[in-house]
Amino acid sequence: MKVLVAGGGAFGIKHLNGIKNIDGVEVAALVGRRPEPTQKLAAEHGIPEALTSLDEALELPGLDAAILCTPTQMHASQAIQCMRAGLHVEVEIPVSDSWQDAQEVDKVQRETGLVCMVGHTRRFNPSHQWVHNKIVAGELSIQQMDVQTYFFRRKNINAEGDPRSWTDHLLWHHAAHTVDLFQYQTGERVVTAHAVQGPIHPELGIAMDMSIQLSTENGKICTLSLSFNNDGPLGTFFRYICDNGTYIARYDDLVNGYDEPIDVSNVDVSMNGIELQDREFFAAIREQREPNSSIAQVLPCYDVLGQLETALAM
């Protein structure tokens, strides 16, 4: 299976490293914004084509799929472009920065019948998979999720600390992880959503602090705190308060309420959530099925984000 990867930033590199561990998949082309860094990264990973135009990449023969790790503002249009060109597509989170664009991506997926998967990695992290498996088995029921998403990004930089050509967003990117995971883990739709935000940054043009409250149809609740002003520790920390125990997930690691480690090494074939996400994408293509984290499955998340954005603008 031949795939193109668009975006050579922090997450593009994560996908390239993950794909190396997946049999039967070849990265045939890398698309980047600047020629020299793109060519250098392609050479490091043995990728034969290094381009600066997605249009040109889509004209290459024999491509089966695309993975989009480009700026958020390009995700929806590029996902649609790839599907229109006949390629299955995995687009990094968020699929869009508007409810209308998310709906359009879903519409095109239904029209083309191609696999369109969104990078909601929390569904694939072994820590969250462990909790999900317990819920499916009837051993756990979530009462509350308490989530902290904290970074220190007062300048326009990416996860590797390098300058960005675009601006990240607490609501459409970082809150998307938790809003989707909350609905996925509870198996219920969010029916109440409230948000408040701090001042808008004078240069970045975004809120640097935000607080979100959610509740489901059966009264399960989620409290989410987000900040780009937090000076360590950094990352996202999920506390699951359940009817049968409390669990804290830190990316691929999991502990109980007393900070005792839980072994999640046997939950899946890898401990790398990005790699597991990519494995699901390629498996869904081969098996001609809907993937976990398909555009249709995550669409309710973007509905909630759209409602929150509207409320914050009032």
What tens digit of pLDDT does each residue of 165-175 get? 778 899 999 99
The 3-state secondary structure of 166-212 reads CCCCHHHHHHHHHHHHHHHHHCCCEEEEEEEECCECCCCCCECEEEE
Domain borders along the chain are: 2-120+274-294, 125-267
pLDDT score, position 165: 74
**pLDDT averaged over every residue in the chain:** 96
Say what the pLDDT of residue 167 is: 80
Which segments of the chain are extended strands (E)? 2-6, 26-31, 49-51, 65-68, 88-92, 116-119, 142-150, 190-197, 209-216, 221-227, 235-242, 245-250, 253-256
**In the chain, what is the straight-line distance between the N-terminal and C-terminal CA atoms, in Å?**
48
Question: What's the rounded mean pLDDT across residues 166-195?
Answer: 96
Percent of the chain with pLDDT over 70: 99
Residue 172 makes CB contacts below 8 A (sequence gap 6+) with 72, 94, 96, 97, 305, 309
Which of 277, 305, 70 has its CA nearest to residue 165? 70
**Inter-CA distances, 311 with 173, 194, 201, 304, Å:** 17, 8, 19, 11
Instruction: Output the pLDDT for position 153.
Output: 86
Per-residue confidence (pLDDT) for residue 159, from 0 to 100: 66
Nearby residues of 255 by Cβ (< 8 Å), 6 or more positions away: 247, 248, 261, 262
Pairing of strands 209-216, 190-197: antiparallel
The per-residue pLDDT for 155 is 85
pLDDT band at 274 (very low <50, low <70, confident <90, very high): very high
CATH 3.40.190.80 fits 125-267, yes or no: no
| 55-68 average pLDDT score | 98
Rounded to an integer, the average pLDDT of 102-112 is 98
Q: Residue 163 above 80 pLDDT?
A: no
Would you state the CATH architecture of domain 2-120+274-294?
3-Layer(aba) Sandwich (3.40)
Among 98-107, 156-165, 235-244, 299-308, which stretch is predicted with the lowest mean pLDDT?
156-165
Contact 274, 15 (CB under 8 A): yes
